Amino acid sequence: MVSMDGRVFDRLSLGAEDGGTFRITPIRAPDELLVEALTASPPEEEGDFRLSDLAELGVLDSTIVLDIRYATTNNFMGEVFYSEPKAFLQRPAAEALVRAHHWLGERGYGLLIHDGYRPWYVTKMFWDATPEELRIFVANPANGSRHNRGCAVDLTLYDLETGSPVTMTGGYDEMSPRSYPDYPGGTARQRWHRELLREAMEAQGFTVYEAEWWHFDYEDWSSYRIGNERFEELGVG
């Protein structure tokens, strides 16, 4: 219990702030989920959509650093989901992100990307593996994700002088209140980093997701269909 101004609050435990990767215990076996997800189909959509024009971020600007967690086991499920450590966005979003990266460069920082376009079947795996009480942090495959449309990006900052990622108020994919973009805890420096990232991205037409400081949606996300192609099927550069 914590007392403040005569009021008593329950103490909320968020776990250790050790910088380690947040992990869940999947409620279903990943191998089983993969088979099921690959045989499922994304929700049908009606309307006039733009043609997909996914651009590879590392090709657009080689100074953008990639740490594609879902191409490794260093993620909240501890499984490999992507065949290649690459990041893609629809071209208008990708070009806007490069502009944000250059703006940050004038201030001694750069962008480090964790994820961009995400095939729908991976979103389905995330949802089906995650305990119900944590599903605010994963997209419902019945609706699709803005990652599936190539208009969402997960990212952080790195220091140009040291080449190291900065410290934020919470870790990437951490399913706790520390992930909220308005979380008041952490150090003043961590909150300043978080707000600098947000300022850079919002100036280029991105909006931060309400539960994840690292997740930004591009303004035209609804103009694109849900995609389900694997990276090796994209054939883009």
**Residue 197 token pair:** 């990232």
Instruction: Considering the candidates 212, 219, 229, 233, report the single residue annotated as catalytic.
Output: 212
- Cβ atoms of 223 and 50 within 8 Å: the answer is yes
d(CA 138, CA 73): 18
Distance, CA of 33 to CA of 93 (rounded, Å): 30
Catalytic, 56? Answer no
Q: What angle do CA 104, 95, 194 make, to 5 degrees?
A: 35
Alpha-carbon gap, residue 110 to 62, rounded angstroms? 11
All residues at 6 or more sequence positions from 39 whose CB lies less than 8 Å from its CB, including other chains: none
For 2, the enclosing helix (H) or strand (E) is strand 2-4
* Cα distance between residue 156 and residue 172, in whole Å: 9
Chain-centre distance of CA 117, in angstroms? 10
Neighbouring-strand partners of residue 89: 55
Distance CA 97, CA 64 (A): 10
Residue whose pair of structure tokens reads 């690959």 in the numeric block: 38
Beta strands in 33-191 (DSSP E): 54-56, 65-66, 88-90, 109-115, 152-159
Catalytic residue numbers?
Answer: 212
